[in-house]
Amino acid sequence: EPEVTQTPSHQVTQMGQEVILRCVPISNHLYFYWYRQILGQKVEFLVSFYNNEISEKSEIFDDQFSVERPDGSNFTLKIRSTKLEDSAMYFCASIRIGTGIETQYFGPGTRLLVL
Amino acid sequence: KQEVTQIPAALSVPEGENLVLNCSFTDSAIYNLQWFRQDPGKGLTSLLLIQSSQREQTSGRLNASLDKSSGRSTLYIAASQPGDSATYLCAVNSGYSTLTFGKGTMLLVSP
């Protein structure tokens, strides 16, 4: 069964450094998402992406964050200057059409630790 | 703004028991509701999706119900097994497929 994959599984970085989290959505899916989960807290929506542009973003997704689909398969989340509070599990998700009636498929996540 | 609440926060049961997990949401204008399973340190596995027009969905030992007007959903697990131990998350889709999650119910099924 097709899966959403994410790399790396774990990343440790110093505060102020840039990080890029990578995702490969399911191949025929058209809508892509990033969510994050701070330890012990709810999964929170960050951003959705369709047709090479952001569809929706939350208050969390400020100027430090950006997303890109650099080629036909990868979907990336960049954090330009990491802060301690960016430490979290970051999940990528995708759905095929985005009609609101489909299951969202999540990747296994990238655990980011900012020191 | 949609808020999703799940109770109980944690539940411990002996193997074989039937159990119910609860989810409530504040805005009844939803497209669908999804139940996920999350194992410690892992990703989210979709268990069931209920459309706003549906009342329930079943998959194996799992049954999810939806009462949109009252803003409630339940996940019923029959004949629980130790392998069911995980955190169960409820998430509602209020538009554009963006999901709003509850904090989850941590379930422990003891042999």
Indicate the residue of A31, A56, A107 with minimum beta-carbon distance to B43.
Answer: A107
Interval A72-111: pLDDT, tens:
789 999 999 999 999 999 999 998 875 656 788 999 999 9
List CB contacts (< 8 A) between B68 and chain A: none
Q: Would an 8 Å CB–CB cutoff place B41 in contact with chain A?
A: yes
More confident position, A3 or B95: A3
Residue position matching structure tokens 């538009």: B95
Beta bridge partners of A61: none
Q: Which two tokens stand for residue B11?
A: 């539940």
Task: Please judge whether A106 and B89 are an interchain contact, meaning their C-beta atoms are less than 8 angstroms apart.
Answer: no
Please tell me which residue of chain A has the smallest CA distance to B4. A42
Q: Which A residues 37-96 touch B at CB under 8 Å?
A: 41-45, 48, 55-56, 89, 91, 95
Query: Given pLDDT bands bounded at 50, 70 and 90, which one contains residue B42?
Result: confident
SS3 B59: strand
Rg of chain B over CA atoms, in angstroms? Answer: 13
Residue-level pLDDT at B1: 86
Asked if A22 is an interface residue toward chain B (Cβ–Cβ < 8 A), one would say no
Nearest to A108 by CA among B39, B86, B34, B15: B39
* Torsion sign, CA atoms A15, A79, B95, B51: negative
What are the tens digits of pLDDT across the range A38-50?
Answer: 998 999 999 999 8
Written as six digits, the tokens of B32 are 């669908």
B9 and B106 Cβ atoms separated by less than 8 Å: yes
